[in-house]
Structure 1
Amino acid sequence: MAHFGISIDASGLNDRLREVVDRKLPYAQRAALNDLATEVRGELVRKMREVFDRPTPYTLNALYLRRATTQQLTAEVGIKDEAYKGTPAAKYLAPQIEGGRRNTKGVENALARRSARAGELLARLGLSGQFVPAAAASLDAYGNVQRGQYSKLLSQLSAQGDAYTNETPISRGRREGKAGAKGRRKRAGPRFFIAGLYRARHLAPGIWVRYPFAHGWAIRPVLLAARSTPQYVQRFPFYETADEVVDTFGDELLRQAIEREFGS
């Protein structure tokens, strides 16, 4: 019986296909990684709004996204560990992610290191060096002590990092005003002081404030010294949230990226 056989040498075609895949696949992978990283970041921000009480814009913007390139096929989502002013987000969010002790704040370090009276209080009573807001603390819309109040108390307690911003007897007198024509002086403003030592040892240890009124003074606590280091339980499931997004969207985003790249 007669027969006719046909064969095709596909070696050239296979080489061409491999060339196309090698050229286009990194672009699809890059797109999928960046889309996935964007999803992860968005879900982490949503989770912060869910687990934290009124998170500040600074906290919500603390997540950075480092995009993948065709040369470096890795996208990264993390928490910023640098800050021009204030505490880096990575420092104060770490206990919320891992659990454990709260890190000391900048104002707490300043009080312990630069205010002789505060340092003596902490050393004598064996306190942790950390403080919690009390009745006279001025809180902002997010529940944090206002920077202005921190600045005033650090200045009056000679605990500012810049010595020129600390209050002096001259600057205090200038603020309270000079005697007028009838010998009257402007009444002094609120005064911050360290309680728990000497004449104020009967008060709870911490930072208190005296308010002047018509016939004397009233005192209230601003920051009370913590007897032990505040401990946090995990509140922000950073890694768990990221893993869930990758598991849910990873394969689909890669499929879409490949279709876009190889369909063009």
Structure 2
Amino acid sequence: MFDIKADFRPLIRTLNDLEKRQIPFATALALTRSAQAGQRAVAREMPSIFDKPTPFTMRSNYVKPATRTDLVAAVHLRDRASNGAATSRYLAPNIIGGPRALKKSELILRAAGILAPGKFLMPGLAAELDAYGNINKGQLTKVLSVVKALDGTSAFRRRGQGKRRNEKYFAIRPGTNRGGLKPAVYERIGRNVVPVYGFGSQPRYEPIFDLYGIVREAAEAALTDEFRKALRHALATARRR
């Protein structure tokens, strides 16, 4: 979250009574529009910071508008999402640095005894990636549906047959050895066995996304002009409100 506040007291002393009565409305409007300027600046900067950011990531923040009784506009990262992938959670390491949190898919694999504590999913040669370079959700869903049907062995297979008739997924659990294969999730296509997801150490990120700095610079640059425009608007519409 980033709060935008302002002190217009020096300017207020130069205004007449009618103008002063419009100050709360004008200030709230100016703060909100300045926060929106910061939000737009973030959207402009994201493609140069992240490699092919998804539309979901591009919509990662929202503006909480100021009101006459609460003269604070705020730019928030979304902390809730329909798919459970709140941007406040997965973008935080890029903003402040630090380790990546566990994803829902990793929690499922860990609960099934396939992913060892301290290990995280890494795309393998057979991993299908989407247009943004992320793990394809369709393939991941197939793998996880198999995990839920585990029979207690070191391998698991997808129920039924897919578009490729001989497609099978299986996993090598931690502490086991099967034909010299390391612990990972594999896909068997014909006679070939290719890793879908490897198990690696926890990814750590450097702070590359200066969210607060981007918002602050854009909002502060817009604030004075936005206040002047908001005050003119407030005076022009005073009799209609």
Normalising to structure 1: TM-score of the pair? Answer: 0.74
1:219 maps to which of 193, 201, 221:
193
Structure 1 residues 136 and 232, CA gap change in structure 2 (3 angstroms): same
Q: Partners of 1:201 and 1:102 in 2: how far apart? A: 32
**1:118-157 mapped onto 2 (5 Å cutoff):** 118-119=114-115, 122-123=116-117, 128-157=118-147
1:198 maps to which of 173, 176, 184:
176
Contact 2:176 2:183 in 1 (8 A): no
Q: Does 1:72 align with 2:70?
A: yes
Please tell me the residue identity of whatever aligns with 2:128.
Answer: S
Match of 2:31 in 1: 33
Q: Partners of 2:41 and 2:27 in 1: how far apart? A: 21
Structure 1 residues 255 and 201, CA gap change in structure 2 (3 angstroms): farther
Report deviation, 1:196: 5.3
CA deviations on 1:49-69 (whole Å, 9 max, x unpaired) are 220111111111121111112
Report deviation, 1:34: 1.4
2:186 maps to which of 198, 201, 208:
208
CA deviations on 1:140-190 (whole Å, 9 max, x unpaired) are 001011111111111222279xxxxxxx99x83xx249xxxxxxxx95423
Structure 1 residues 25 and 201, CA gap change in structure 2 (3 angstroms): farther
Structure 1 residues 82 and 159, CA gap change in structure 2 (3 angstroms): farther
SS at match of 1:200: coil
Q: Partners of 1:239 and 1:51 in 2: how far apart? A: 14
Contiguous gaps of at least 5 residues in structure 1:
1-15, 161-167, 178-185
Greater relative contact order (Cα < 8 A, sep 6+): 2
Q: Partners of 1:37 and 1:205 in 2: how far apart? A: 48
CA deviations on 1:10-48 (whole Å, 9 max, x unpaired) are xxxxxx944x24421111101111110110110011111
Q: Partners of 2:208 and 2:103 in 1: how far apart? A: 19
Report deviation, 1:129: 2.5
Contiguous gaps of at least 5 residues in structure 2:
1-14, 151-155
Q: Partners of 2:202 and 2:165 in 1: how far apart? A: 39
Alignment RMSD: 2.7
Match of 1:257 in 2: 230
Report deviation, 1:241: 0.6
Report deviation, 1:85: 1.3
Q: Partners of 1:105 and 1:159 in 2: how far apart? A: 20
Which aligned runs of 4 or more in structure 1 are off by greater than 6 angstroms?
A: none
**1:50-129 mapped onto 2 (5 Å cutoff):** 50-113=48-111, 115-116=112-113, 118-119=114-115, 122-123=116-117, 128-129=118-119
Q: Partners of 1:37 and 1:151 in 2: how far apart? A: 38
Higher Cα Rg, which structure: 1
Please tell me the residue identity of whatever aligns with 2:79.
Answer: D
Q: Partners of 1:62 and 1:201 in 2: how far apart? A: 44
Report deviation, 1:201: 6.7
Provide the identity percentage: 31
Q: Partners of 2:169 and 2:16 in 1: how far apart? A: 79
Q: Which has the higher helix share?
A: 1
Match of 1:229 in 2: 202
Count how many residue pairs are aligned between Structure 1 and Structure 2: 218
